[in-house]
A and B are shown apart, each in its own frame.
Chain A
Amino acid sequence: MSVMLRSKDLLGIRDLTPEEIKLIIDTASGFKDVLKRDIKKVPALRGKTVVNLFFEPSTRTRTSFELAAKRLSTDVINFSVPASSVVKGETLKDTALTIEALGADFVVVRHSSAGVPHFLSRILRASVINAGDGANEHPTQALLDLFTIRAHKKRIKGLIVVIIGDIAHSRVARSNIYALTKMGAKVRLVAPSTLIPLEVERLGVEVYNSVEDGIRGADVVMTLRLQLERQVKGFLPSPEEYFNLYGLTTERLRLAKKDAIVMHPGPMNRGVEIETEVADGPQSVILEQVTNGLAIRMAVLYLLSRRRRTR
């Protein structure tokens, strides 16, 4: 009953205890009920203000946070880079303080550099929520993934979860590794050796070079988006080659448990990391992840609303 989040911010899964992770997921179940109703809005955070501060393009995550905030009756401001003063040379600190002066209670931040949310959390009274910082973390994505897994498997402990893709550059993978290992799942990573961070085994995961070996017997198969626009050059011969070696195909999926679920954080490159038949197949829970993301973000906003620092 008395479990609460210890911090005013959600910066990463790394800082959370298993009890806190469970609290967020349990709370999200209650919010999922709200999302099934005709009237999908509750008055819980009336009068609060959420600022989405996005220094990197994002439609899905920003929209999800925006809708989650609106469902809780907050006012939402979207502050995105091209429209803001950042291009005029304003520092990160000044931007943040300006937003706080507008009366923000929550700042949802995405930035291409790791650590930006942590920096902001130290100078702002508002709760800071990390919506993705560089290759570091994307905590709400991992939480919604765990919520989705638990909804299907009724547990997380002891499950075999395989994550396939560019682990080295993926904040989704990193947050999921922290979250899944904390909750007692067995995590396998599959990637070309150029896209696996050195000594990643120290996080308590197993590394497989063969996608078939990695998928064999898995309860959950998670593929990551190959970030074609970014760092792929030099790490991979071509997207076609990647599909041949690591793409999630119907044939490969057969090696997993019969009732295994297929997950992807989106947006997908069909025919690169995942075959269309698998993405749209009966084992895919990809669209459910999107809905669950709303419930998780509502839960995070709600739970952090009590944790404001008093100065």
Chain B
Amino acid sequence: MPEEILNSKEIERALKRLTHEIIERNKGVRNVCLIGIQRGGVLLAKRLAALIESIEKERVEVGSLDIALYRDDIHIKDEQPVVRSTDIPFQIEGKTVVLVDDVLFTGRSIRAAMDALIDYGRPAYIQLAVLIDRGHRELPIRADYVGKNIPTAINDQVEVYIDERDSRKDRVVLIRG
């Protein structure tokens, strides 16, 4: 049975806190851009950008990054990763790039994302923001900004639903494995 572990209010609070942390850590958002990892991170990145703009009154650039071609499990997974679009309509050279993803788990997606990102240019800093950190890392990777830490078993599934039009429908559920 799927069990709701975060409702829309709690998600909103978490994102607001992340926003403040990003602004505080970078002393504003000058030179900061957000890049969401396909698919779960894309809408979250847009949300964070909107929140930053409402607080700082300054525009932040937002892009999306597809990591299918950089994964290390292409040859062992049953299903082939779907190739989606990457849309980074700005230079990342010298910027502070905040990578955004919904769930941080093994860390392998983040490794792939960093490799993919560096093929677009050389950012000054790469930081990582995730809504959920569920543990079970397989690589030496940690997030700079975490919405919520959720202890899970390795076979559990964590699913994040972000609604593009109606944030009241947002939720995070845990499905016990």
Contacts and interface: CB of A to CB of B under 8 A. Distances in A.
Nearest to A28: B83
B84 interface: yes
Contacts of B68: 30, 44
Contacts of B79: 1-2, 4
**Which of A29, A38, A44, A299 has most B Cβ within 10 Å?**
A44
B131 to A, nearest CB: 22
A198 to B, nearest CB: 41
B79 to A, nearest CB: 6
Interface residues of B, number: 17
B83 A30 contact: yes
Interface of A is mostly: loop
A30 B66 contact: yes
A303 B85 CA distance: 16
A27 B81 CA distance: 10
Interface string A30-67: 11011001110111100000000000000000000000
Interface string A1-30: 110100000000000000000000011011
A302 interface: yes
A153 interface: no
A121 B119 CA distance: 36
B87 A33 contact: yes
Contacts of B87: 33
B8 interface: no
B70 A42 contact: yes
A31 B84 CA distance: 9
Nearest to B118: A39
A26 B80 CA distance: 14
B4 interface: no
Interface residues of A, number: 23
A286 B84 CA distance: 26
A31 B115 CA distance: 17
A72 B86 CA distance: 16
B70 A31 contact: no
B124 interface: no
Interface string B63-100: 00010111000100001101111110000000000000
A41 B69 CA distance: 10
Interface of B is mostly: loop
B120 interface: yes
Contacts of A33: 66, 85-87
B11 to A, nearest CB: 25
B132 to A, nearest CB: 22
A152 interface: no
B119 A37 contact: yes
B83 A31 contact: yes
B83 A27 contact: yes
A150 interface: no
A306 to B, nearest CB: 5
B84 to A, nearest CB: 6
Given A33-B87, A39-B119, A303 B69 contact: no
A43 B121 CA distance: 16
B160 to A, nearest CB: 17
A7 B76 CA distance: 19
B109 to A, nearest CB: 15
Nearest to A303: B80
A300 to B, nearest CB: 12
Contacts of B120: 37-39
A108 B15 CA distance: 50
Interface in A64-83: 72
Given A39-B120, A44-B74, A306 B80 contact: yes
A38 B118 CA distance: 11
Contacts of A34: 69, 86
A2 B70 CA distance: 20
Given A33-B85, A33-B87, A43 B80 contact: no
A43 B115 contact: yes
Nearest to A30: B83
B117 to A, nearest CB: 11
Q: Which 5 A-B pairs have the closest CB atoms?
A: A30-B83, A42-B69, A44-B69, A39-B119, A306-B80
8 contacts: A2-B79, A27-B82, A29-B85, A30-B86, A34-B69, A37-B120, A39-B119, A44-B68
Given A44-B74, A305-B80, 12 more contacts: A1-B79, A1-B82, A2-B79, A26-B83, A27-B83, A30-B68, A30-B84, A41-B119, A43-B69, A44-B69, A305-B74, A306-B80
